[in-house]
A = this chain, B = another copy of it.
Amino acid sequence: MSTLSEQAHRDLAAIREQKPLVHNITNFVVMNTTANTLLAMGASPVMAHAEKEVEEMVSFAGALVLNIGTLTDAWVDAMVKAGKKANRLGTPVVLDPVGSGATAFRTASAKRIIDEVKVSVIRGNASEILSLRSDDSKTRGVDAVHSVDEAAETAQVLAGELGTTLAITGPIDLVTGGGRVIRVSNGHELMGYVTGTGCAATATIGAFLAVDQDPVAATAAALAFFGLAGQRAAEQAAAPGSFQTALIDALYTITPGDLAEGARFDP
Which residues of A line the B interface, CB within 8 A? 27-33, 35-36, 39-40, 45-50, 52-53, 56-57, 60, 69-73, 99, 102-106, 192-196, 237-242, 244-250, 252-253
Contacts and interface: CB of A to CB of B under 8 A. Distances in A.
Given A36-B241, A52-B73, 4 more contacts: A32-B32, A47-B70, A53-B105, A239-B252
B73 A47 contact: no
A198 B72 CA distance: 27
Contacts of A99: 46, 48
A242 to B, nearest CB: 5
13 contacts: A30-B32, A31-B70, A36-B240, A39-B194, A40-B240, A50-B71, A56-B102, A56-B105, A60-B102, A237-B249, A241-B247, A242-B249, A244-B248
Number of copies: 3
Contacts of A30: 32
A105 B50 contact: yes
